[in-house]
Every structure is written in structure tokens, then in C-alpha cells.
Structure 1
Amino acid sequence: QGQYLDRETGLHYNLYRFYDPDIGKFISGDPISLKGGINLYAYAPNPLSWIDPLGLKCWNSARRDYWKAEAKAAPKGMYSPVNMLRMRLGLAPKIRVREFHFKTRTERVRNVSLELNHRHWPQRDGKHVDIPYNLEKVTPWEHAAKDPYRYPGSELLEILQDIGNYKGF
């Protein structure tokens, strides 16, 4: 996971600071100070959705950086102007879909963001987990098909506006 276990102390060294799994916190302050948040010792606000194997970067930052880089590298016309603006701001592009919602048992139309799927599991790839080669753009339904712990709550019936012609309405 990018951590080194010190068997003598029971602490994990993350290249920059020590983590104590018994208390779920770092015992050394964050080397980037308050830029990492107001709690200098927290692992992450939500350790299930934030990945910080080196103790320096959260998943939200990695995801934002990914979409900004995608906006710079995308060929002209691949994404709609609305999606290009979203990505320049670090937000995922959206698509407009028609779906069958399981809970209400109704069809509905809504806008959904693309997601990033890790090709290699975060728990096994350590510090390299959030680099672009390990990430792939997927719809929530594609993501659920690859990850047994995801459940979109609906069945995709039709993509009404894809990434190239998404308008937001």
C-alpha cells in the first residue's frame, strides 16, 4: 500500500509521516500544514472515499487533477463546451440519460457524471493508484459492472446526450 510497517512500534511509515492503525490517525503533523485541512493528524475525512497512501494527497484532489489534465489533452470536439468548462474546473464531464429507477419503479431523465474506475485496486497498488494510466473513464453502470460493491440503483435505458453533445438540459 505504499506503507512500511515498523514491527517494533506497530506504526506504518508513509514516506512522510507515521500512521497509527489503532487510532486511525497519523501521529506526525501533515507536512503540507493547513493546506491538507484543519486537522493535521487526520488520515482523511472519509477513509473509504479518500485515498492517501503517502499521507499527502486525497482522492478528491487526484480526481480534480485528472479532469483538468483531460481538458487540456482532449482533441477538439471530443467534449461539448459545457463539459470542457466543467473539466477545466476539475469536475467530471456529464451525460444525460434515461434510466429505470428501481426504488420508485419509474423511468426518469437525469444528468450523471462520468466516474473514474481504478484498473488496479487501490489496496494493492499503493502510491501509484491515482496516476492516469490506472484510471479509466466509465459511466456509473460500467463502474458497477466492474466493482461488485457499487450499485447505481437504476438501469440505464438510453444515453440521450453523450460527452460530446451534453448541454445540461
Structure 2
Amino acid sequence: MAEVRFGSTAAALGMPMHMREVYLDEQNVFERVLGQATGPGGGRWTDGHDDAVGHRTVLLLRRRRGVSGRTFRRYVHDRIGPALQEAGARDLRTYTFLPWTPYVHPTLGVCHDNPTFRRYHASVVIGADSRAAMDDLLKSEQVAGIVADQQTVLTAVHAYTVERSVPVIRTGSARGTA
């Protein structure tokens, strides 16, 4: 999973230059890529990016129809994020996405179509020391509280184990994805 972070909104203007590694990677191994963009303040890295984290899980979230974007963003950043942090996440990032568009990643030879039923509105990247530590984190009181009220804001939560999460840009400096 590649993540791109810009130090400022103005830094995003140089996106094509910084996205070269991502574009080349997409062309090598992927038939279909679903790129998502966040607006200013749409991504929050609680403890930065800890490369030493032993296990990562990524949650992909769908917003319930009728829930406002503002309410959804608050739930992701101000409810899910702090609860996971309090439960002991070592590395935590929350993202809320702008409305989907096929023009985010114009990679040649790669499909970027994204049917409505497959669209996500946010993601949460959770890091823990090990799979066992992740299991303990997910059994915590804090996570139980999120599970108890998630149906008011979310229609789906998909969880995936990610072997490696690669930052392409950290505070404006390019970084390889190898």
C-alpha cells in the first residue's frame, strides 16, 4: 500500500513529479488501482510513520447514506482515531476521502474505474507490535465502544492485513517505494 503525504496544499501541485514511483509500480503489477485523495486536513498521522511496527491492519470504511460528510469525518478522526490510540495502537493514521474521481491517478494501461458499490469513504491504518498485540487491541473496551455505535455512521468496515505500508513522501521529501 503506497501512501502519499504532502507538507502543504501548495506542495500537492508538484504531485506528478513525486508520484512517479507509484505510477511505475502500478504499471508493473496491477490491472486495477483505486486511488483516493483527501483534502486539507483529511489525513491525520497520530504518531508519524513507524517503520518498525510488526503488524498493520487497514480498515476501509463506507459512510452510511444520509450521514453528512462533516459528521463522518468527525467520527473517523475524533472517535475512531482517539479510541484506537487509547487502546494501544503504535502507529495510527486516519484518512477521509474526497468524492471519488477517476482522474486522481491517470496511469496509462491501468484501470481506475470504481463502481459505486466498491467505493470507500475513509481508511484507518493501525500498527501494533505483533498480530497478537493487534488481537488484544481489537478486544479492548475502546474498540468495543466503536463497534457498538458504528452502525449510526458506517455501512461497512473491511479489514485487511497489510505486509508493508510505504510512504512516498514524508514532509515534502521524495522517498523510494522499493
Q: TM-score higher than 0.5 here?
A: no
Q: TM-score, normalised by structure 2?
A: 0.26
**Greater RCO, CA 8 A, separation 6+:** 2
Q: TM-score, normalised by structure 1?
A: 0.27
- Decide which structure has the larger Cα Rg and report it: 1
